[in-house]
Chain A
Amino acid sequence: MTGADTLRRWALALPAVVVITLFSILPLGVVLVYSFLTPGDFGNVKWIFSTDGWFSVLFERNIFDDTIAISDANIGILVRSIVLSLITTLITVIFGLPTAWFIATRPVAQRNFWMFLITIPFWTNLLVRTIAVQEMIRSDGVFNRILLGLGIIHEPIQMMFSNFAVLLGMTYVFLPLMVLPVYAAIEKFDFRLAEASYDLYASRLFTLRRVILPLIRPGVIAGSILVFVPSLGAYVTPRIMGGGKSMMLGNLIDLQFGQGRNWPLGAALSITLTVLVLLALIWYTRLTSGRKERNHG
């Protein structure tokens, strides 16, 4: 390709590149810089270098005697974010995989209908869907009303603002993200391989473990990354379902820039979250490109 051609192509891509550089990459760089500054008195920062922001991601200094201790609050939230995201991913696999299998094994004419049912929640506003699950478990929501009405309980069960509520909310809103790629993988699955497996004396379980799962694995992995990444960075759902009691990293970051008035800590937490997401994405790319190599090599 000639130099002029390369230039022409760069020019064509330029508007998009500029917009993203200005409004995404550059601001991210600023966040990185801020994480090494000193908190201002009323929010914002003072331009004095400091590693306190990063330090307080994991530790806290006692203001009276200057002793250093592990920051239980921050680490708790960090661990909760990762664990809840992993559990969300697991639950969406448990429901999403059979659903995708169910849809992919319907007659072709029916599949569109079932996929339609999956795509509607997928395209529906996240906040609306979160409000919908919230209604189910609010203290005077559907479940409590039913249980009270049946006389099973006499006082509403407090389900909101707990890990359970966050988990329920995230599972609910991210479930369609699992079904779509797994469905695509199962649709490509050659059912003659399942026939071959049964022909060779395999049971249903053996066929599932040894033939079906290994072959639809790419779809499950793609679905897992599609659920895990937004779960880890979730903000809206944990805010509504978990409130101040069951915070995730996204909410902690918000807190530091708001009431906490510790922007460098917020910035350091933001970078931490981004790095965690990138690690997950790198793990995913490794996994998928590794398979390609093995297939060709």
Chain B
Amino acid sequence: MLDIRGLSKRFGYGKGEVTALHEVSFSIAEGEFFTLLGPSGCGKTTLLRLIAGFTGPSGGSLVLDGKDIAAMPPNQRPVNTVFQSYALFPHMTVGQNVAFALEAQGRPRSEIDPAVDKMLTLVQLLHLKNRKSSELSGGQQQRVALARALVAKPRILLLDEPLSALDMKLRKDMQIELKRLQRETGLTFIFVTHDQEEALTMSDRIAVMSGGHVQQIATPRELYDRPANRFVAGFIGESNFLSAKASAGVVEVGEGRVALADAPDGPVTLMIRPEHVVLSANAPDALELQATVAQLVFFGTDTHVHLVLADGTRLVARVQNALHGGQSLNEGERITISLPAKALRVVRDEEVAA
């Protein structure tokens, strides 16, 4: 339904020119929960503002339901936003805030009132309808912002880090709530966050961004299992990186070697998740390496084992804590570890900002 083609955005001019987005392209399907994930300053808000119409693109096209909307002012786009600051109208009640879009569209009162009540019921705030919006808690404001943006049934709902101002507990609740709302309404959500966990748990698909580029677009599972490049691997979950040499489908790290069909010849970077590192020698079809246990960090359910390889490369392994002690490692101990070929990924370097 939404097709973004080669969309770029530059701010300023001459020496002060900043490119916030580099020819970003992707499509979003009807009813999808689509997340933009990336570190601060990577251009998430800029992309959202382009879709909402608060700024115009420097190039590229923005096609919604077959129509180019790049030049359409925001008040004509069937797209609504939940602002990071909520931007609730402080001089209006909760009910007036929610009714705003319908009033602006000139809908009749007989249509507005039931729609507002229905929306407030959906976000469980009907009892606060006549409260001033400045007299609400953070979580309540969040819900009002949501109801206000949903009431006019937008084709796409844009959410710019809507949960970042909430505390941990409320945030978890709202994550579930948001997901429920999205399922119930069947609306398309574009959700911005810099919290990878939030992105992984909520999204149908995620676009990982950095430096104004989209690094990878995939389902959460795919992103975690098959990160397209070193940036994505590092940003999503924890990862270990190893420098290796590959030739004819065999990779070599120090004394260890293993067959890895998709490795291109030459120097490559390998990635492995901490939970896939095996702290013993007898794993079949694995890269076996000597390592020193540098530090053990207890985390309750599991222990992080910090390892140093012969060449100085640092790795982290995560082992579940068994009920009765289990294997006992000591700091300073030298052990053999194995990295199963199944868990090893060859990662490219990421596209960087020009």
Interface residues in chain A, defined as those with a beta carbon under 8 Å from any beta carbon in chain B: 190, 192-193, 195-203, 206, 210-211, 214-215, 294-295
Contact = CB atoms under 8 A, between A and B. Distances in A.
A203 B104 contact: yes
B85 interface: yes
A200 B87 contact: no
A196 B83 contact: yes
A193 B80 contact: no
B71 to A, nearest CB: 15
Interface in B88-124: 88-91, 100-101, 103-105
B254 to A, nearest CB: 55
B148 interface: yes
A199 B91 contact: no
Contacts of B88: 196
Contact of B87 (A196, A201, A214, A294): A196
Contacts of B76: 201
Given A200-B100, A202-B100, A215-B90, A195 B74 contact: yes
Nearest to A214: B91
B86 to A, nearest CB: 9
14 contacts: A196-B87, A196-B89, A197-B104, A199-B52, A199-B53, A199-B74, A200-B80, A200-B101, A200-B149, A202-B100, A202-B101, A210-B104, A211-B89, A295-B132
Contacts of B52: 199
A196 B81 contact: yes
Contacts of A206: 103-104
B176 to A, nearest CB: 26
A198 B91 contact: no
Nearest to A217: B91
B199 to A, nearest CB: 23
Contact of B81 (A190, A199, A211): A199
A200 B54 contact: no
Contacts of B79: 199
Contacts of B104: 197, 200-203, 206, 210
A295 B75 contact: no
B237 interface: no
A192 B83 contact: yes
B153 to A, nearest CB: 11
B267 interface: no
B152 interface: yes
Residue with the highest number of chain B CB atoms closer than 10 Å, among A196, A197, A200, A214: A200
10 smallest CB-CB distances across A and B, nearest first, come from: A200-B101, A202-B104, A196-B87, A201-B104, A198-B74, A192-B87, A198-B75, A214-B91, A199-B81, A201-B105
Contacts of B149: 199-200
A295 B93 CA distance: 12
A268 to B, nearest CB: 43
B73 interface: yes
B255 to A, nearest CB: 59
A203 B319 CA distance: 59
B152 A200 contact: yes
Nearest to B104: A202
Contact of A198 (B73, B132, B152): B73
A9 to B, nearest CB: 36
Interface string B62-83: 0000000000011110011101
B134 interface: yes
Nearest to B86: A196
B89 A193 contact: yes
B133 to A, nearest CB: 11
Given A200-B80, A215-B91, A195 B54 contact: yes
B89 A199 contact: no
Contacts of A211: 89
Nearest to A204: B75
Contacts of B132: 294-295
A296 to B, nearest CB: 9
Contacts of A193: 87, 89-90
Contacts of A202: 75, 100-101, 104
A295 B91 CA distance: 9
Residue with the highest number of chain A CB atoms closer than 10 Å, among B74, B81, B85, B149: B74
A12 B132 CA distance: 44
A133 B158 CA distance: 54
A69 to B, nearest CB: 50
Contacts of B105: 201
Interface string B30-72: 0000000000000000000000111000000000000000000
A297 to B, nearest CB: 9
Contacts of A214: 91
A199 B87 CA distance: 11
Given A197-B89, A202-B75, A210-B104, 17 more contacts: A195-B81, A195-B83, A195-B87, A196-B87, A198-B53, A198-B74, A198-B75, A199-B74, A199-B81, A200-B75, A200-B101, A200-B149, A201-B76, A201-B104, A202-B100, A214-B91, A294-B132
Given A200-B80, A295-B134, A192 B100 contact: no
A201 B148 CA distance: 12
A206 B103 CA distance: 9
A215 B133 CA distance: 14
Nearest to A196: B87
A192 B88 CA distance: 9
Contact of B75 (A192, A203, A210, A215): A203
B151 to A, nearest CB: 9
A197 B74 CA distance: 9
Nearest to A291: B91
